[in-house]
Amino acid sequence: MNRIRTEQYRRLAGAAMTDPVLKKALAVLQARLGQGALDGYRELPEGPDLRRLGHAMRMHAISHLDLLHRHLARQVRANGGEIHYAADAKEAIRICLDIAKAHQVRRIVKGKSMVTEEIGLNPALEKAGLEVCETDLGEYIVQLAGESPSHIMAPAAHHNRQQIGRLFQEKLGMAYSDDPATLTLAARKALRKKFLAADMGITGCNLACAETGHIGLVSNEGNIRMATTLPKVHVAIMGMERITARMSDYAVLFRLLSRGTAGQPMAAYASFIGGPRLPDQNDGPQALHLIVLDNGRKKILADPEFREVLCCVRCGGCLNACPVYRHIGGHAYGFVYPGPIGAVLSPLLVGLERAKHLFQGETLCGACRDICPVNIDLPRMLLALRRRLKTKGRGIHRFRGAGEEAAYNAWAWTMSSAGRYRVTQHGLAIGGKWAQNGQGMIRRLPGKAGGWTSSRDLRAPAAQSFRRRQVKGK
């Protein structure tokens, strides 16, 4: 597995919040991509119904994953490809290395794939003496910098052009430039050589199709097409949940994916790959291998409360809407999946206790649910994770002391009855009259509540609640 640093969330988040480059970058990213997605949904001819349909389609597929995979296996083999099943990261890496050995592979090019980051594929391949080159521009940049990606769609979002310019100057030996077009051209030239010399292309899989055995892959850059056309071997690694039943499902799901990712009606390129090259074709790989990965997903599948998270198509939309992500960036989440999806998925994959700050650190504002192209209810699952953590016990303190427990219990008791709520409201109004200063503000609260007023004033409650005034007709 990739290095897990979820325990360091608070430290990493704190550091990120003081990074001015990151601050600016994320504000721009969210304004462009997040708003773009929401605008894109409004342009859909089917309106919000398409997202509901997308959700139903994904849940239906997840609920019958066994049937889909049985069909997929048959189809992939019939098309001349090979399919493998990996229980965990170690197995997936071993299968990949075996394939590389069998085809005498030395040089590998990679399309952007979160699942390959999840299993820590690159370091393992390099350790085995293979050259691995990321080809998505953002992934290429973070690879040169020796970092991990900080965003699903824009892996190098945390860098500005000056930093990238200096990086390219150092690593590619080119004259310094901070012009994106110049830098992109340099990357194009360098990566073109890699594509043409590579023995193997490794990609993820956006959505496989059980009906026909095709692997559906999208990109804007064209690197996926390159990696799946030029090298003699193509290896695709898929999380087991990345599958749909019928080809016609792509008409719904790829349109939603493209809009959720970047507000586009359709990504620049979509490849539907069904098998290796046929003898009468002029290009294409000689061998196609599909590796289906479990790595903790089966456990999620078995849990009805969290099964819905498997509907995710990794568009990155939730990152583009989340106010928390906006301030702390992707690396703070300490594992390959950042943002709201990471706050739910990472704990389920690496352990609730270990990654608890991820789901505790979200605000439950619901922006992620509003932007998700397939209407996944992430806030529901964030709450469920908190509940799950509490009730699992085992040395985890529910409250930080008897006082806190008493306070929460008192609050719960008060709020669970209309009569007690009204009495408390009335009491607060009376108390507020005494605690306020001449301007109607409370400057100091007693005891633990003083933590609130240490840096801000609290407006005193009105003498009469709004509801009472309405009822009284004023």
CB of 196 to another protein, least distance (A): 6
Which residue among 41, 250, 306, 335 contacts another protein (CB under 8 A)?
Answer: 250
Phi-psi region of 24 (alpha: psi -120 to 50; beta: other; left: phi over 0): alpha
**Beta carbon of residue 37, minimum distance to another protein (angstroms, whole number):** 14
What is the CA 71 to chain-centroid distance, rounded? 28
Among 254, 325, 335, 337, binds another protein (CB under 8 A): 254
Three-class SS of residue 406? helix
Residue 413, Cβ neighbours under 10 Å: how many?
Answer: 10
Nearer to another protein, 186 or 458 (CB): 186
**HSE (side-chain half, CA atoms, 13 Å) at 373:** 32
Q: Which of residues 6-35 bind another protein (CB under 8 A)?
A: 25, 28-29, 32
Of the residues 12, 202, 262, 321, which one makes contact with another protein according to CB under 8 A: 262
**Residue 221 in contact with another protein, rule: CB under 8 A:** yes
Is the CB of 280 or the CB of 456 nearer to another protein?
Answer: 280
The nearer residue to another protein, 301 or 343, going by C-beta atoms, is: 301
The contact pattern for another protein, residues 101-140, with x = CB under 8 A and - = no contact, is ----------------------------------xxxx--
Asked if 71 is part of the footprint of another protein (rule: CB under 8 A), the reply reads yes
The reply on whether position 97 binds another protein by CB under 8 A is no
Does residue 448 belong to the site contacting another protein (CB under 8 A)? no
State yes or no: residue 63 binds another protein (CB under 8 A). Answer: yes
Among 82, 88, 370, 457, binds another protein (CB under 8 A): 82
Nearest in space to 140 (alpha carbons), one of 112, 161, 162, 163: 112
Round to whole Å and give the CA distance between 229 and 273: 10
DSSP H or E run through 427: helix 418-435
- Token pair of 39, please? 């605008």
Distance CA 131, CA 107 (A): 5
- Taking the C-alpha atoms of residue 25 and residue 144, their distance in angstroms, rounded to an integer, is 20
CA 448, 454, 459, 463 torsion: positive or negative?
positive
**156 interacts with another protein by CB under 8 A:** yes
Residue 255 in contact with another protein, rule: CB under 8 A? yes
Selected binder of another protein within 93, 267, 319, 341 (CB under 8 A): 267
> Among residues 64 and 171, whose Cβ is nearest to another protein?
64
- The phi and psi torsions of 212 (rounded to 5 degrees) equal -115, -15
Q: Which is nearer to another protein, 29 or 341 (CB)?
A: 29
Is residue 273 a contact residue for another protein (CB under 8 A)?
A: yes
The residue (of 238 and 442) whose beta carbon lies closer to another protein is 238
Q: Is 214 one of the binding residues for another protein (CB under 8 A)?
A: yes
Cβ–Cβ contacts within 10 Å for residue 14, how many? 12
Q: Give the x/- contact pattern for another protein in 173-202, rule: CB under 8 A.
A: -------xx-xxx-xx--xx--xx------
* Residues in Cβ contact with 141 at an 8 Å cutoff, skipping those fewer than 6 apart: 155, 156, 159, 164, 167
Q: Is 269 in the site for another protein (CB under 8 A)?
A: yes
Q: What are phi and psi of 109, to 5 degrees?
A: -115, 145
Local structure of 443: helix, strand or coil:
coil
User: Binder to another protein among 115, 133, 240, 376 (CB under 8 A)?
Assistant: 240
Residue 288 backbone dihedrals phi, psi, to 5 degrees: -125, 125
Taking CB under 8 A as the criterion, which residues in 314-343 touch another protein?
none
